[in-house]
């Protein structure tokens, strides 16, 4: 195909190594291959990184689903204060009950509870979460494939604009050569000023085309770096070459490969599997559920003053002494008196008062434990207004929808492969024809320049040959890169590279 046709060959999609620990900025040197551009883009592209965060969430969904198999535990604790004064207990007050004014009180408490519920959805939740994670990963894989295609297209666009820039420089050089030829003929008298002026106009147009080509090269580089997610100020040299080769693939073999590798089809199949599992989840609503619960708790109660309790204990002791003395007085009047009791033993000893103060000293951690509790229950659903059957039918419908989408994608794959393969073959034949046209136009320009230099033709014929040459060069480059774009599109549909580097 010649030098102009052999503008490169490389792996367009897939086959990439894992992420490099270095950042995308550090991995860009003075030269950049397509493989490097794809690797950097997969690591640095912000949109893809945001999509990959969904995988992290999906991983935690799996962990959370397994966590439902473990009993839930809760612990609570609190502190409260109650001011002094008379309190109301139901329809009576503490004063009416004989307690008088109560001191201010401090309270603290704790409560520990364990709860566990197991049912069909709980047992099947990890499987559903795993399938959801697989669907998320497949969806991210689809976005990665789209990014590979976009980076490849941007890479090809930079090469295309570089070729256009080279053509623009060649056209300017030829226009300058033609200007010198016209000026030379004017000097020897075989030319005229009109030819010189026309040549000058052509030089000006070539200069404008060159400026426009330089701008397109710059903007195409910016778009490539944007897709890669790196600093837009870098200017690496693109070194991957692409060659136009005859497409020998068959639609049948490509379709067989696409059934296993197409990212969109893989995502749809993952969704189908998740929907299929969702039907089983919906059926589990008919299964009974089992619940367990257990609890432990404790409390403290401490008065800011024990004076009232101590006074009550002292009064109780005095009352016991009075009763003892009255009893002694009574028995002393008997005909045969009984021995007298020592009434001082019935008084309130200091130890009792110390015990009252010690028992009051509870706040905040000297808890009095409450009796532990445990319960178990079994729930068997009987009738819930057809909500379970509605959920089951909805899950079945979603499963059928997913299957239809998979089938639709398989049919679309076959059609896309047939169409894109035809485009590739047409682009290949067009590139061959445009290559021959370019060679003929080049020879025609050479002859026109020689005829004009010898005075056998006028400047108009030379300009026409120059225009034909420029058009042939542009059509040749357009045909070459149309072929590469077509191959990139076909590889995106198949989901795997079709050419060797």
Query: What local confidence, expressed as pLDDT, does residue 90 receive?
Result: 64
Is the same domain home to 189 and 42? yes
Domain assignment of residue 190, yes or no: yes
Alpha-carbon distance of 126 to 128, in angstroms, equals 5
Is the same domain home to 133 and 161? yes
Share of the chain above pLDDT 70, in %: 90
Is the same domain home to 301 and 359? yes
Q: What is the mean pLDDT of residues 274-296?
A: 90
CA dihedral 37→217→437→199, nearest 10 degrees, is -160
- If one counts the domains in the chain, the total is 2
Contacts of 398 (CB under 8 A, 6+ apart): 275, 278
Is the same domain home to 186 and 134? yes
Query: What local confidence, expressed as pLDDT, does residue 291 receive?
Result: 92
Is the same domain home to 221 and 175? yes
Secondary structure of residue 378 in the 3-state scheme:
strand
Per-residue pLDDT for 499 more than 80? Answer: no
Looking at residue 336, the DSSP 8-state letter turns out to be S
Q: What is the mean pLDDT of residues 171-179?
A: 87
Domain assignment of residue 411, yes or no: yes
Burial, 63: exposed, middle or buried (Cβ in 10 Å; 0-12, 13-18, 19+)? exposed
Q: What is the mean pLDDT of residues 253-276?
A: 92
Task: Assign 3-state DSSP to the chain and report helix, strand, coil percentages, each to 5.
Answer: 65, 15, 25
Residue 139 banded pLDDT, cuts 50, 70, 90: very high
Per-residue pLDDT for 161 more than 50? Answer: yes
Per-residue pLDDT for 409 more than 50? Answer: yes
Alpha-carbon distance of 451 to 382, in angstroms, equals 101
Question: Which of 26-35, 86-95, 113-122, 307-316 reaches the highest mean pLDDT?
Answer: 113-122
Q: What is the mean pLDDT of residues 180-204?
A: 83
Domain assignment of residue 499, yes or no: no
Is the same domain home to 59 and 130? yes
Residue 303 banded pLDDT, cuts 50, 70, 90: confident
Per-residue pLDDT for 15 more than 50? Answer: no
**Angle at CA 224, nearest 5°, toward 221 and 226?**
110
Q: What is the mean pLDDT of residues 392-416?
A: 93
Domain assignment of residue 221, yes or no: yes
Q: Which among 379, 397, 428 is the end of a domain?
A: 379
Residue 25 banded pLDDT, cuts 50, 70, 90: low
Domain assignment of residue 353, yes or no: yes
What would the 3-class secondary structure string for 120-161 be?
HHHHHHHHHHHHHHHHHHHHHHHHHHHHHHHHHHHHHHHHHH
Query: What local confidence, expressed as pLDDT, does residue 27 receive?
Result: 58
pLDDT digits (tens, 9 = 90+) for 108-125: 999 999 999 998 888 999
Per-residue pLDDT for 2 more than 90? Answer: no
pLDDT digits (tens, 9 = 90+) for 212-259: 999 999 999 999 999 999 888 888 889 888 889 999 999 999 999 999
Is the same domain home to 439 and 359? no
Domain assignment of residue 436, yes or no: yes
Is the same domain home to 314 and 229? no
Better-predicted residue by pLDDT, 67 or 14: 67
Q: Are 408 and 271 in contact (CB under 8 A)?
A: no
Kind and range of the H or E element at 205? helix 193-228
Query: What local confidence, expressed as pLDDT, does residue 175 receive?
Result: 87
Per-residue pLDDT for 501 more than 80? Answer: no
Query: What local confidence, expressed as pLDDT, does residue 4 receive?
Result: 37
Q: What is the mean pLDDT of residues 335-340?
A: 75
Is the same domain home to 163 and 230? yes
Alpha-carbon distance of 416 to 404, in angstroms, equals 18
Domain assignment of residue 359, yes or no: yes
**Domain limits at 314?**
295-379
Q: Which among 379, 398, 416 is the end of a domain?
A: 379
Domain assignment of residue 87, yes or no: no
Residue 343 banded pLDDT, cuts 50, 70, 90: confident
Residue 406 banded pLDDT, cuts 50, 70, 90: very high
Query: What local confidence, expressed as pLDDT, does residue 309 receive?
Result: 81
Q: What is the mean pLDDT of residues 363-387?
A: 87
Q: Which among 319, 349, 379 is the end of a domain?
A: 379
Residue 19 banded pLDDT, cuts 50, 70, 90: very low
pLDDT digits (tens, 9 = 90+) for 450-497: 887 787 878 788 888 888 888 899 999 999 999 999 999 999 999 988
CATH number, domain containing residue 229 = 1.20.1600.10
Is the same domain home to 233 and 145? yes
Alpha-carbon distance of 317 to 125, in angstroms, equals 68
pLDDT digits (tens, 9 = 90+) for 38-77: 999 999 999 999 999 999 999 999 999 999 898 999 999 9
Residue 92 banded pLDDT, cuts 50, 70, 90: low
Is the same domain home to 319 and 445? no
Is the same domain home to 238 and 325? no
Query: What local confidence, expressed as pLDDT, does residue 101 receive?
Result: 62
Round the average pLDDT of the chain to a whole number and report it.
85
């Amino acid at each position: 195909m010649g030098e102009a046709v052999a503008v490169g060959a490389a792996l367009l999609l897939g086959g990439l190594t894992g992420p490099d620990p270095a950042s995308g900025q550090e991995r860009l040197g003075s030269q950049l291959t397509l493989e490097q551009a794809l690797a950097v883009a997969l690591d640095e592209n912000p949109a893809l990184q945001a999509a990959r965060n969904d995988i992290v969430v999906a991983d935690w969904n799996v962990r959370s689903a397994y966590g439902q198999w473990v009993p839930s535990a809760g612990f609570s604790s609190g502190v409260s204060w109650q001011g002094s004064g008379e309190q109301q207990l139901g329809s009576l007050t503490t004063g009416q009950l004989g307690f008088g004014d109560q001191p201010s009180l401090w309270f603290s408490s704790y409560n520990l509870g364990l709860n566990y519920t197991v049912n069909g959805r709980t047992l099947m939740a990890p499987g559903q979460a795993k399938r959801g994670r697989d669907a998320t990963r497949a969806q991210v894989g689809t976005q990665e494939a789209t990014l590979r295609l976009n980076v490849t297209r941007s890479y090809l666009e930079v090469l295309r604009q570089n070729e256009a820039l080279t053509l623009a420089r060649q056209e300017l050089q030829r226009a300058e050569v033609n200007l010198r030829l016209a000026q030379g003929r004017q000097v020897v008298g075989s030319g005229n000023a009109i030819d010189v002026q026309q040549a000058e106009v052509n030089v000006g147009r070539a200069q404008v085309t060159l400026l426009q080509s330089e701008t397109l090269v710059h903007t195409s580089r910016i778009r490539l770096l944007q897709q890669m997610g790196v600093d837009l100020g870098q200017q690496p040299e693109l070194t991957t070459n692409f060659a136009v080769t005859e497409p020998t693939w068959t639609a049948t073999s490509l379709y067989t490969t696409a059934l296993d590798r197409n990212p969109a089809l893989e995502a749809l199949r993952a969704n189908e599997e998740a929907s299929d599992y969702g039907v089983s989840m919906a059926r589990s609503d008919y299964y009974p559920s089992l619940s367990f619960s257990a609890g432990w708790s404790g409390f403290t109660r401490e008065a800011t003053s024990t004076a009232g309790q101590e006074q009550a204990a002292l009064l109780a002791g005095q009352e016991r002494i009075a009763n003892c003395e009255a009893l002694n007085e009574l028995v002393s009047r008997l005909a045969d008196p009984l021995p007298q009791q020592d009434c001082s033993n019935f008084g309130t000893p200091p130890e009792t008062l110390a015990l009252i103060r010690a028992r009051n000293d509870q706040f905040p951690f000297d808890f009095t434990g409450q009796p532990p509790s445990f319960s178990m229950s079994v729930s068997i659903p009987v009738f819930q207004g057809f909500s379970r059957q509605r959920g089951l039918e909805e899950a079945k419908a979603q499963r059928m929808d997913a299957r239809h989408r998979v089938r639709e994608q398989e049919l679309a794959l076959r059609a896309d492969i047939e169409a894109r393969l035809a485009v590739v073959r047409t682009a290949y034949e067009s590139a061959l024809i445009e290559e021959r046209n370019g060679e003929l136009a080049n020879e025609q320009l050479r002859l026109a320049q020689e005829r004009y230099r010898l005075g056998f033709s006028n400047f108009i014929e030379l300009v026409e040959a120059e225009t034909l040459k420029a058009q042939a060069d542009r059509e040749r480059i357009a045909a070459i890169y149309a072929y590469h774009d077509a191959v990139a599109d076909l590889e995106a549909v198949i989901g795997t590279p079709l050419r060797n580097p």
